[in-house]
Amino acid sequence: METKLDLLLQHSGLELPMDPMEVAVRDLLKANQPIEALKLVRSKTGMNLKSAKDWIATLKM
């Protein structure tokens, strides 16, 4: 189902809005505040340290 949605969005030229937490984390990373980004992810999601670090690593450009 997710693959079909991705294909439809790609074909239509539309994008899903970013998750507000993802936007905040990206802003913190751009401001060179990776520890604050890590704290935010952990507090909002309940992820353990490694999972939060791995998730943040997928966002880095």
Q: What are the 10-residue block averages of pLDDT along the chain, 61 residues in total?
A: 70 76 94 97 96 91 55
What's residue 19's pLDDT? 87
Token readout for 27 is 């802003």
Domain membership flag for residue 11 = no
Q: Spell out the residues 6+ positions from residue 41 whose beta carbon is closer than 8 angstroms to its own.
A: 21, 25, 47, 52, 55, 56
Q: Give the structural domain span for 49.
A: 17-59
Look up the pTM and report it: 0.71
Domain membership flag for residue 4 = no
Domain membership flag for residue 12 = no
Domain membership flag for residue 21 = yes
Domain membership flag for residue 46 = yes
- Tell me which amino acid residue 14 is: L
Domain membership flag for residue 1 = no
- Looking at the structure of the chain, the number of domains it has is 1
Domain membership flag for residue 29 = yes
What's residue 47's pLDDT? 96
What's residue 59's pLDDT? 85
The answer to whether 59 and 26 are in contact (CB under 8 A) is yes
Domain membership flag for residue 23 = yes
Dist. CA 52–CA 39, nearest whole Å: 9
